[in-house]
Amino acid sequence: MSHDEVFLRNSWYVAAWAHELIDGKMVARTILEQPIVIYRGESGKVVALDDRCCHRAAPLSMGRIEGDDLRCMYHGMKFEPSGKCIQIPGQEMIPPKLGVRSYPAVERYGLVFIWTGDIEKADPALIVDYPPLADAKWRGLPGYMHYKANWLLIVDNLSDFAHLAFVHTNTLGGSEEYAYTTKPVAVERLDDGFRVERWHMNAEPPPYHKKVIRNKTDHVDRRNIGRMLVPGIFLLDTMFAPAGKGAEKGVAVEGTRQYRNAQFMTPETRSSTHFFWNYLHDFDIDDPNITLSLRHSLEEGFMEDKAIIEAQQKVFDADPNYELLAIRADAPLSHFRWALKGRMEAERNARAAA
């Protein structure tokens, strides 16, 4: 299978956190099975180039940033942000087509997005809109994890709130009851994914939330609204309202605390994934202990997922044709696969027609 058949190419993918590029650091990262080097030029511009010199394939990430350009430190060829070679030490004539691939790169929300498809289709307006990431009323800490698993296994995991109860009983979930007594209010099928809303009424606060509040035993009405979007973006709006005050009817209940969570799954290869995330809170935002506690709790929760997801990948590696049987709770993830497949097919057809 060529990678064109595995990945959606015409899409923005998160390639790095902007903070990874401070102090002139270069990030060498494989994305969609392509080695890429990402750096910030002197003008502040973020550049993403193929991490292979077109001359003798030395990694450009071993090179030197000069202004906004990058010099290969093997034989000294210099490349501008467009990827075009602009200097060959000892050779005057530079063939106009000589260079490396450049990826359109856009910095937003403290994240670096790159476009892996046809350059003329790279429209920054297609980058997902998630205002909490840019709003000072929310506080969080950027996170990164590496998974030895196909990104769709992570998508599956996040698509399914039922696993909160069993995998995360002592961290994010709270009780096995969550699996039995909550039902998605509605699974809304979107062109590019799905949206699901789930309420859990009059429950004890789950452990991660308890750790950062004082009224630890007061029951809460918990609402999760999750959106999973192509190619692998999960956005989760969580609300904990004091129980029984009508939050489910849209009443703004005093003492409500909220979280906003964004997670970006970027395929490294077909069996490994870069996972960028931030978990934001809207209360006590000036108390760093709370931000840190949430960061640790979420990481602890993700590690529980990682163990299962990476073990699943091993099962698929051993037997790629193993057949799965769906249950009703799988409807959202089936829809997501269908939406992604549609996009990939359209892309393939457009390429075949061209």
Residues binding ligand FES (CB under 6 A): 53, 55-56, 58, 72, 74-77
Minimal distance, residue 79 CB to ligand FES, in Å? 9
How near is the Cβ of 78 to ligand FES at its closest, in Å? 9
Q: Minimum CB separation from Fe ion for residue 206, in Å?
A: 12
Interaction partner, residue 86 (Fe ion, ligand FES, none; CB < 5-8 Å by kind)? none
SS (H, E, C) the chain: CCHHHCCCCCCEEEEEEHHHHHHHCCEEEEECCEEEEEEECCCCCEEEEECCCCCCCCCHHHCEEECCEEECCCCCCEECCCCEEEEECCECCCCCCCECCEECEEEECCEEEEECCCHHHCCHHHCCCCHHHHCCCCECCCEEEEECCCHHHHHHHHCCCCHHHHHCHHHHHCCCHHHHHCCEEEEEEECCEEEEEEEEEEECCCHHHHCCCCCCCCCEEEEEEEEEECCCEEEEEEEEEECCCCHHHCCCCCCCEEEEEEEEEEEEECCEEEEEEEEEECCCCCCHHHHHHHHHHHHHHHHHHHHHHHHHHHHHHHCCCCCCCCCHHHHHHHHHHHHHHHHHHHHHHHHHHC
Find which of ligand FES, Fe ion, none residue 84 binds, CB within 5 to 8 Å per kind.
Answer: none
| Minimum CB distance to ligand FES smaller for 55 or for 337 | 55
Q: In the bound complex, what is the minimum distance in angstroms from residue 99's beta carbon to ligand FES?
A: 12
The item of ligand FES, Fe ion, none sharing an interface with residue 305, based on CB under 5 to 8 Å by kind, is: Fe ion
For Fe ion, the closer of residues 176 and 345 by Cβ is 176
CB of 48 to ligand FES, least distance (A): 18
Residue 58, contacted partner among ligand FES, Fe ion, none, CB below 5-8 A by kind = ligand FES
Residue 96 tokens, joined: 């106009």
281 contacts: CB under 8 Å, gap ≥ 6: 138, 139, 140, 212, 257, 258, 259, 290, 291, 294
CB of 102 to ligand FES, least distance (A): 16
**Smaller CB separation from ligand FES, 97 or 249:** 97
Between residues 86 and 179, which has the closer beta carbon with respect to ligand FES? 86
Q: Which of 139, 305, 332, 340 lies at the binding interface for Fe ion (CB under 5 A)?
A: 305
Least CB distance to Fe ion at residue 140 (A): 18
Per the document, the length of the chain is 354
Rg (CA), the chain: 23
Q: Which option in Fe ion, ligand FES, none does residue 56 bind, with CB closer than 5 to 8 A by kind?
A: ligand FES
Measured from the CB atom, the residue of 56 and 183 that comes closer to ligand FES is 56
Q: Cβ closer to ligand FES: 89 or 250?
A: 89
CA distance 82 to 61: 16
Which partner in Fe ion, ligand FES, none is near 53 (CB below 5 to 8 A by kind)? ligand FES
Piece in contact with Fe ion (CB under 5 A), picked from 86-94, 97-105, 282-290, 301-309: 301-309
Number of residues that bind Fe ion (CB under 5 A): 1
Q: How far is the CB of 259 from Fe ion (least distance, A)?
A: 14
Query: Which residues are bridge partners to 143 per DSSP?
Result: 277
Of the two residues 70 and 114, which places its CB atom closer to ligand FES in the complex? Answer: 70
C-beta of 50 vs 305, nearer to Fe ion: 305
- Indicate which of ligand FES, Fe ion, none lies near residue 65 (CB less than 5 to 8 Å, by partner kind): none
CA distance 320 to 315: 8
Give the footprint of Fe ion on this chain (CB under 5 A).
Answer: 305
